[in-house]
Amino acid sequence: MYGEFDLTLPQTLQEAVKALNAAGKDAVPLAGGTNVLIDLRSQRLVPKQIMDLGRVPGLRGIVVEGGRVTLGARTTVSDLLASPDIARCGPALVQAATVFAGQMVRNTATVAGNIACGSPAADLVPPLLSLDAEVTLTSTRGSRTVALCDYYTGYKADARAPDELITAISWPVPEANTFGTFYKLARRKGDAITVNGVAVSIGISDGRCVRARIALGSVAPIPMRACNAESLLEGQVLTPERIAAAAKAAAEECSPIDDVRATGAYRRRMVEVLVARLVENAVQAMT
C-alpha cells in the first residue's frame, strides 16, 4: 500500500549517524511514526530509506542536572505527563502534553518528532520556546546546539542538515519567581488540531517583570516568539494596560492564515485575547 523503501534499525547512535551520513537526503529518521506513517500513506513522503531510531539506546529519558533539564530525543508525550521533573520545570509542557492527541499517539509520539515535523501547529514547540529550549544535533562531525527560536528557517524548513539527528532537547531550570503556562484553542478538547497555541513564561521580581516569553503556534508559517510583545513587558510593572498593549502587539506581529479550522482574522483576535489572559493569570499566580 505504501511506496517501497528500505528499513534500517541501527543499534547504536554511532551506527545511525554513519548510515545517515552515507544516505544523506535519501534516509528519513523514524521515531514514533505518528507523522511519518501518515505521510507515507498519503505518499507525501516517498523515501528510499527509513531509519527507525527505536533500537538506539540512550535516546529516551528526562534528566535534571547542573541547572538544566535535558530530554532525550525519543522521550514521548506520555513520558512528559508521567514526570514529576517536567511538572516542576516545565508546567506549560505538561499542559501541552495533556491536550495532545489520544493515548495511543501520546504513548509513541516523541518530542524530537514534534520539533522536526516542522508543523506550525506542533503543540510542544510553543512551551519549549517559552522555556528557552535548545536542540542538540548530532552527526559524524560531532554535536552542536541550536536555540529552538533559531531552529526553524521557514515553512517546514529547519536548521538540521540531512545527516544530523536531533539527540536531545534542553532548557535551564526556571527561576523560582517565574510562572509558565500554555493554552491550546481547538474545536474540541481531545484529539484536535490546534487553532491557536499560546505559551507564556513570566518572571516577576520586586514588582517588575524580569522575564517575558510569549510563544505562538498555528499563527505563522513557523512556531514563533512574539518578541515585540515580550519587550513591552520586560522591565515594566505589569498593569492591565501594559498587558493589553503587549497582547495587541502580539496580535500584530503574527501572520495567521485562513484554513479549514479558523479564519486568519479570528486567529489574530484570539492571539490578543489569549496572550492577555495567560499573562494576567501568570501575574495573579505570583502575587
Q: Which residues bind other proteins (CB under 8 A)?
A: 1-7, 9, 30, 32-34, 37-38, 40-41, 50, 52, 54, 78, 82, 98, 101-108, 189-191
Residue 110 interface partner, choices other proteins, ligand FAD, none, CB cut-off 5-8 Å depending on type: ligand FAD
**CB-CB contact of 194 with 206 (8 Å):** no
Residue 201 interface partner, choices other proteins, ligand FAD, none, CB cut-off 5-8 Å depending on type: none
- Residues lying near ligand FAD in the complex (CB under 6 A): 28-36, 38, 53, 73, 100-101, 105, 108-110, 112-114, 116-117, 122-123, 165-166, 191
Residue 113 interface partner, choices ligand FAD, other proteins, none, CB cut-off 5-8 Å depending on type: ligand FAD
Compare residues 176 and 260 and give the one whose CB is closer to other proteins: 260
Compare residues 56 and 246 and give the one whose CB is closer to ligand FAD: 56
Compare residues 138 and 178 and give the one whose CB is closer to ligand FAD: 138
Smallest distance from other proteins to CB 201, Å: 25
Positive or negative, the CA dihedral 139, 122, 248, 261 is positive
Nearest alpha-carbon partner for 112 in 85, 161, 148, 143: 148
Compare residues 103 and 239 and give the one whose CB is closer to other proteins: 103
- Dig out the grid coordinates for 202 from the structure: 513570566
Exposure string of 146-166, with b = 16+ CB inside 10 Å and e = fewer, is bebbebbeeeeebebeebbbb
Smallest distance from ligand FAD to CB 45, Å: 8
Compare residues 117 and 185 and give the one whose CB is closer to ligand FAD: 117
Q: Order across the sheet with 68-72: list the strands.
A: 62-65, 68-72, 165-172, 134-139, 142-147
Which residue's beta carbon is nearest to the bound ligand FAD?
A: 113
Alpha-carbon distance 111 to 15, whole Å?
22
Exposure string of 40-73, with b = 16+ CB inside 10 Å and e = fewer, is beeeebebebbbbbeebeebbebebeeeebbbbb
Residue 41 interface partner, choices ligand FAD, other proteins, none, CB cut-off 5-8 Å depending on type: other proteins
Compare residues 39 and 132 and give the one whose CB is closer to other proteins: 39
Residue 2 interface partner, choices ligand FAD, other proteins, none, CB cut-off 5-8 Å depending on type: other proteins
Residue 84 interface partner, choices ligand FAD, other proteins, none, CB cut-off 5-8 Å depending on type: none
